């Protein structure tokens, strides 16, 4: 989907109803077309465009720029419809996280959520589908706080073991974050993510009720509004991650045809679904390589040329050119700034917003066949 299509997707007005307790209704919903009677309708749904407008309005109405951090913590479990019931009745912590990742995008259709296993950790990643502007921190951090609150409340896990990464520079109020986030915290990261120990997945839920769990899942499926295009995007990213978990460091990236075959789709169908999201296969590859390259450079046991080979580049020089375009720094400079012992530099690094890898920078197998 393009931006216009995503902005026209429908979502519940429940969060706007909750914000109406904090701000004057007329000012909160100015320019949205939402009226007070809409808030009284339990099944009222509004467009993403309307929701993003009232979120933007809160930035002018709020006294402090970090106001939403306290607000996010008040979004107790019953504010998320059948998703809340499924979360509270899930058999294990892992089942609960899976529910969150699969169904929560129906509450925030402008965001793609996916899970990924990395080393001994489970990552819940958030990928905005459109540019969210100055509201990005609020719209990324709120669902992560909801997930953290759920894990802490239901499973009594240690919050200091949850690590957060944000794909944007530290905001001016970053010094206040420690009141809300107690584990490792990183800005200018490759993506937005919450990481927890993988062994937490097996933690049992003492409130598990089989009948309630089964019924809640049926309701979640019935209300699922995640388009198939977004599901395909998640499957594609997961497949790329799986390919690169293999030990072979001289692999090539799978071609579009190979990915389509794995997803049981015709290549034209895959191209069409990505196009509906305003994306191309090469953009997804480029984004994956950008993210994965930063992750691999965090391992100081790997030489830069080994990282290049692991990502399918025949020539380390081509990798260096591509990396500098992605991050604004050479691989060595990036490693020294972000991962050298004692490094505290969290400043923003410029990132290229271009749609695809330039000719000459393309790794093996990434052709647009």
- Which portions of the chain are predicted below pLDDT 70? 1, 76-79, 223-227, 245-251, 278, 340-369
pLDDT of residue 96: 95
Please give the helix or strand (H or E) that residue 232 lies within, else none. Answer: helix 228-243
- In angstroms, the CA 311 to CA 318 distance is 11
How high is the pLDDT of residue 251? Answer: 60
Give the per-residue pLDDT at 348: 37
User: Which string of DSSP letters, residue by residue, matches 57-116?
Assistant: HHHHH-SSTTHHHHHHHT--GGGGTHHHHHHHH-SBHHHHHHHHHHHGGGT-TTEEEEEE
CA distance linking residue 306 with residue 249, whole number of Å = 7
What is the rounded distance in angstroms from the CA atom of residue 156 to the CA atom of residue 350?
Answer: 39
Question: Contact 233/223 with Cβ under 8 angstroms?
Answer: no
Report pLDDT for 368: 39
Q: Identify the CATH class of 228-339.
A: mainly alpha
Rounded to 5°, the CA angle 306-310-312 comes to: 115
Instruction: Tell me the C-alpha distance between 126 and 134, whole Å.
Output: 17
**Helix, strand, or coil (residue 140):** helix
d(CA 164, CA 206): 27
Q: What stretches of the chain adopt beta strand conformation (E)?
A: 10-12, 45-47, 111-118, 121-128, 163-165, 185-186, 192-197
Q: Work out the burial of residue 267: count CB atoms within 10 Å of its CB; fewer than 13 is exposed, 13-18 middle, 19 or more buried.
A: middle
Confidence (pTM): 0.68
**CB burial string 318-348: b at 16+ within 10 A, e below:** bbbbbbbbbbebebeebbebbeeeeeeebee
The pLDDT value recorded for residue 342 is 56
CATH 1.10.10.60 domain position(s) in the chain? 228-339
Whole-number pLDDT of residue 351: 37
* CA atoms of 185 and 177, how far apart (whole Å): 9
């Amino acid at each position: 989907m393009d931006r216009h299509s995503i902005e026209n997707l429908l979502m519940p007005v429940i969060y706007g109803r909750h914000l109406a307790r904090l701000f004057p209704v007329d000012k909160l919903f100015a320019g949205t077309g939402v009226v007070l009677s809409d808030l009284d309708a339990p099944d009222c749904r509004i467009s993403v465009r309307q929701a993003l407008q009232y979120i933007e309005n809160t930035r002018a109405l709020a006294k402090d720029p970090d106001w939403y951090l306290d607000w996010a913590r008040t979004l107790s479990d019953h504010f998320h419809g059948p998703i809340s019931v499924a979360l509270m009745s899930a058999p294990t912590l892992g089942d609960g996280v899976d529910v969150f990742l699969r169904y929560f995008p129906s509450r925030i259709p402008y965001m793609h959520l996916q899970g990924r296993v990395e080393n001994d950790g489970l990552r819940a990643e958030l990928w905005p589908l459109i540019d969210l502007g100055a509201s990005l921190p609020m719209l990324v951090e709120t669902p992560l706080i909801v997930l953290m609150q759920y894990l802490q409340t239901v499973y009594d896990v240690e919050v200091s073991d949850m690590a957060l990464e944000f794909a944007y520079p530290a905001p001016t109020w970053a010094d206040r974050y420690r009141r809300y986030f107690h584990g490792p915290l990183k800005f200018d990261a490759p993506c937005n993510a919450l990481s927890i120990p993988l062994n937490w997945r097996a933690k049992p839920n003492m409130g598990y009720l089989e009948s309630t769990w089964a019924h809640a899942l049926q309701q979640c499926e019935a209300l699922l509004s995640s388009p198939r295009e977004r599901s395909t995007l998640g499957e594609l990213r997961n497949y790329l991650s799986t390919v690169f978990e293999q030990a072979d460091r001289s692999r090539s990236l799978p071609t579009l045809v190979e990915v389509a075959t794995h997803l049981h789709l015709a290549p034209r169908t895959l191209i069409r679904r990505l196009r509906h999201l305003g994306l191309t296969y090469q953009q997804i590859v480029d984004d994956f390589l950008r993210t994965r390259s930063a992750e691999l450079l965090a391992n100081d046991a790997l030489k830069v040329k080994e990282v290049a080979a692991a990502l399918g580049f025949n020539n380390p020089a081509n990798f260096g050119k591509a990396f500098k375009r992605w991050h604004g720094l050479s691989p060595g400079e990036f490693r020294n700034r972000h991962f050298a012992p004692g490094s505290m530099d969290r400043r923003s690094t410029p990132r290229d917003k271009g749609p695809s890898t330039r000719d000459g920078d393309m790794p093996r197998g990434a052709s647009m066949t």
